Amino acid sequence: MREVVLPLDKSLRDGELLIYKNGKVYSVEIHELLPEFKRLDKRLDEIDERIKKNDNSIVELAQIIKEK
């Protein structure tokens, strides 16, 4: 495991995070990330729905195969 030390020009306050984006490290407040988390949550719901549909399709195909 490599350790990276980053000098900060200010100390982090409660509710702030360091994020790495586009080759740079930023200090952001958690509430600033909420829209991004909401989009991610919606995307995860869509992926979960696709997985459920695929699971149902697999069960249906297995039943068809058993019948033949």
Q: Give pLDDT, residue 6.
A: 74
- The answer to whether 28 touches 17, Cβ cutoff 8 Å, is yes
How far is residue 9's CA from residue 14's CA, in Å, rounded to a whole number? 16
pLDDT-derived band at 33, boundaries 50, 70, 90: confident
SS3 track for 4-51: CCCCCCCCCCCCEEEEEECCEEEEEEHHHHHHHHHHHHHHHHHHHHHH
| Portion of the chain with pLDDT greater than 90, in percent | 32
**Which pTM does this prediction carry?**
0.48
pLDDT-derived band at 45, boundaries 50, 70, 90: very high
Q: Give pLDDT, residue 50.
A: 96
> 12: closest CA among 24, 25, 21?
25
Q: Give pLDDT, residue 46.
A: 93
